[in-house]
Amino acid sequence: MADPMRVRALEQGGVTEVKVLMQHDMETGLRKDAGGKLVPAHFIQQLSVLHNGREVLSAQFGPSISKNPFLGFRFNGGAKGDRITVTWTDNLGEKRADDAVIA
């Protein structure tokens, strides 16, 4: 399994700002190694963010996203102490889920 994500959530004036740093190599499948062989594709495909079990963001990624992607977004309705859960699945079927409490 991949390294943990860094998830931060801060509520101010009814708007919750979420920042996520995902640890993933995000290989496109087009790069060659030192021996000239193609490095197999390995990238995040599906991302979901839940606020207390309700989906507030769903995204599809592709091979053009950079290594260790960063995602920042805002949504209405979060409160201090609520839980944010970020889940991703990559093209090889690997999954990662991490969460944070809104500050």
Indicate which CATH number applies to the domain containing 84.
2.60.40.10
Would 63 be classed as within a structural domain?
yes
Would 92 be classed as within a structural domain?
yes
The tally of domains found in the chain comes to 1
Would 1 be classed as within a structural domain?
no
Query: Which residue in the block uniquely carries the two structure tokens 């290989």?
Result: 27
- What does the buried/exposed string (b/e) look like for 58-88 if buried means 16 or more CB atoms within 10 Å of the residue's CB? eeebeeebeeebebeeeeeebeeeeebbbeb
Q: What is the pTM of this model?
A: 0.90
Instruction: Judge contact between 52 and 82, C-beta under 8 A.
Output: yes
- Whole domain around residue 21: which residue ranges? 6-101
Would 51 be classed as within a structural domain?
yes
Q: Give 30-85 pLDDT, tens digit per residue.
A: 999 999 999 999 999 999 999 999 999 999 999 999 999 999 999 999 999 999 99
Would 73 be classed as within a structural domain?
yes
Q: Give 26-38 pLDDT, tens digit per residue.
A: 999 999 999 999 9
d(CA 3, CA 101): 19
